A and B are shown apart, each in its own frame.
Chain A
Amino acid sequence: MKKIVSGNEAMAYGALRAGVKVVSGYPGTPSSEVIASLLEMDLPGTRVEWSTNEKVAFEVAAGAAFAGHRALCTMKMSGLNVCYDSLIGVAYSGCIGALVVFVADDPGVSAGMCEQDTRMFAVMSDMPMLEPCSLQEIYEMTVSAFDMAEAIGGPVFIRLVTDNSQSHGVIEVEERVQPKADAPMPPYDPSKYTKAGAAICMRQHRDLIARLDAAEKYIADKDLNKLDLKRQGGLGVISVGITNGYLSEALERLGEAGADVSGISTLRLAATIPYAKGGITSLLERCSKVLIAEELEGLIEKYCFMEAYKNKLDVQFLGKEDGTFSRIGQFDALLVENGVRKALGLEAAASNLKDKPERLCAARPIGFCAGCPHRGTYMGLEKGLNASGFKKEQVFITGDIGCTILGSCPPFDILWTELSMGASIPFAHGVAYSGIPSPVIATIGDSTFFHAGISGLVNAIQHNIDMIVVILDNGWTAMTGMQVNPGTKQDFQKGEWKRLDIEPLLRGLGVENLWSVDAYDVNAMGDATQKALKLPGVKVILSRRECAIQATRHKVKYAPIAFETAKCVGCKKCINVTGCPAIELAGKVIAIDSTQCNNCGLCAGVCPTKALRAAG
């Protein structure tokens, strides 16, 4: 059956075709739609969940694979950093069923995180990593990844990048394979599934390396890597995953431009790891020059240098080492074309542009949506700081991942750091030890708090650190596209899922000074901040209000804000303080864009002439 899907959805369908029993993950752009699309489907016999964090998600999937089933775990590259400890343990142990780990990298950083090359994790864990290119390939290689994982007895990575995970097109989908309903008891085998003792660990290491060799054989048997040898002594090009498509387009463009590309040998790889020893050696023997087109790090390139040295082959390499390609940013067809042009001694393709058109573009800083409750929290926080005699720039406040980090943008400019999920609390803890002349405050969103914030808070409570923790609870994992998290209202939890309320959790952790405030109530947030600043130890302010976008989607209505143009003196305080995108300037006075405004009332609170007024 033909279907229009995104790359991530293609993977979801591939997993269903492979008979997947368990799918777990944590949201993260550009990986989220695998689970998001599966949660929209009725899939009796398959368990799909957003887990608390990637480590938990991985362990859930690994458990299912341990028990003999097929399991998929999904995450963005940052998530792989989180789950790596367990991942490498399972890589060493192997599993009975099939465990596939999907990770999405983001060369070119469209989603704002470290531009890391996750292939390095495949090197470190000796796990095979399939890298499909087209949407159909994503679907088919997902099935292959499960088959390979089962065949070699160990977990397999499948890696996409933003360009193919977020692409949409048509694929041919076959029927879902129903997973087994249950499984027999797995064998009791501590020598495989624990790390008890050096002998066990080293035997597992040996097995791990053998599994990677088996994966190399599997890939060769299935002919997943495509070697096309042409002229002896000519140019060879190696591409992998997404760059396979870039290479095809580049060669086509060169052909259209009149270049002779018929003598160019190509090796299009379906995987960096395991290294395609046979294919690479054949290419190096055939060609005198080899261009390696891989995004981010030069992994294949370094392997090529080594193979050439081992085999005493005199090959000139073009790639990262000679500066043909950068380790930074994403590739496209033109970049690869210019790489081939350089190798052929041709001039780079001519540009249309004399100047950069973007130089005239208005800067468009990101900021909170109209009605965002976080806006109220930061306004209240600043109010409380000011009332306690501090200017906001005098107070050290850490930020965390998610929408809450937009407090680092204008007009708030109140957050100093953004590190990784949950890091705001321990990072502030460390700064509190340093003796800087400032109160120390950590801010964190609800999903981030559940993800990795709790352990940092426990640590701060145990060590009795003088700090304030502000939890901005909007009830959703919002920035990645509104996923359900443990704190999301019960009405929106799926099936048997159960909501966990953060407030009793905090009380249970022994937080004695806890204020629960409405994020739209700037005064309450200000008061809580003032009180908290005077007290020793860990204080927590839980600032709550549902995400404005989600609230609007399910028809939550607030009493309308009244605006009297005659009373507006054009002081622009509402714009300067709230930065709300629903407020515009209409000549000398302001105007409210009713299509955006959700009547949160935060602007009314700062209007000095009562031109803006909350009803009632």
Chain B
Amino acid sequence: MSEYFDIYTVGVGGQGILTISDIITLAAVEKGIGVNFFPTKGMAQRGGFVKAQLRLGREQGLYSPSISEGGADLIVSMELSETLKAVRYGKRGADYVVLGLRWQPTAVMLGKAPYPDEHQVAGEISAAGGILHYLDPADIPSYMRGNLYTLGAVCAHSRLKEFFSCEDIERIIADRWKKVAESNVATFRAGYSASLKTL
């Protein structure tokens, strides 16, 4: 296999999903691994679709910032329904670390529009040849940041660990939020040792 590693991350505005890619970007820079981080925020509003595409191990200028269909080694999702927007981009055999949070649009909340359940999402992932690692949002203590918790799970359950050790990531986290370094690192570790489901 190549030394490339492509990560497709999705969620909604306000969840801090860009921070996940940001931390991996910093870790890559520290280790001298080529990295391109391409976030797409949509408009400046909370609750809108957000995605980030991270390409590791590539030399500048010789690739596309966007990951092609069927190209991602790892999918990270922090919103159940939005996971479906990433499935197209997963390789066969890709790891999917999915936090099953439901950010319901108003029409869904009012019972006027459908919302997929976790088994439907799991079915689509499986049909695309992906391997699901499902994080139950109920397992995350309310004082913990979902994005760092998810990042912990990503480090435990994907090939990302072949690029970075836990210490590599923890150092970045501690450096980034000096005042709350301890609790953020603890959140990351909690995610790292969280028990995941396959559904």
Contacts and interface: CB of A to CB of B under 8 A. Distances in A.
Interface of A: 2, 4, 110-112, 133-137, 162-164, 166-170, 242, 244-246, 248-249, 252, 256, 330-335, 337, 349, 351-358, 360-370, 403, 406, 410-411, 478-482, 549, 572, 575-576, 579, 581, 584-585, 596
A362 B124 contact: no
B61 A361 contact: no
Interface residues on B, range: 35 or more
B81 interface: yes
B135 interface: no
B8 to A, nearest CB: 12
A340 to B, nearest CB: 13
A126 to B, nearest CB: 28
Contact of A163 (B45, B65, B85): B65
A351 B60 contact: no
A364 B107 CA distance: 9
A482 B69 CA distance: 34
Contact of A167 (B37, B69, B71): B37
Contacts of A411: 106
A479 B64 contact: no
Contacts of B90: 352
A584 B63 contact: no
B105 interface: yes
A166 B69 contact: no
Interface of B: 2, 12, 14, 25-26, 29, 34-40, 42-49, 60-71, 81-82, 84-85, 87-88, 90-92, 104-110, 113-116, 120-121, 124, 127-129
Contacts of A337: 68
Given A330-B66, A360-B84, 17 more contacts: A2-B29, A162-B40, A167-B37, A168-B38, A245-B62, A334-B71, A352-B70, A352-B128, A352-B129, A360-B121, A361-B81, A362-B81, A362-B105, A363-B107, A364-B49, A575-B106, A575-B109
A365 B105 contact: yes
Contacts of B69: 334, 351-353
Contact of A479 (B39, B44, B107): B44
Nearest to B121: A360
Nearest to B102: A362
A242 B61 CA distance: 8
Contacts of B114: 360, 362
Nearest to A584: B109
A334 B66 CA distance: 10
6 A-B pairs with the lowest CB-CB distances in the bound complex, closest first? A134-B61, A334-B68, A357-B87, A248-B62, A134-B60, A168-B37
21 contacts: A110-B42, A167-B65, A169-B35, A169-B37, A170-B35, A333-B68, A334-B69, A349-B70, A352-B69, A356-B88, A357-B87, A358-B84, A360-B114, A362-B81, A362-B108, A363-B105, A363-B107, A364-B12, A364-B105, A411-B106, A481-B44
A246 B67 CA distance: 10
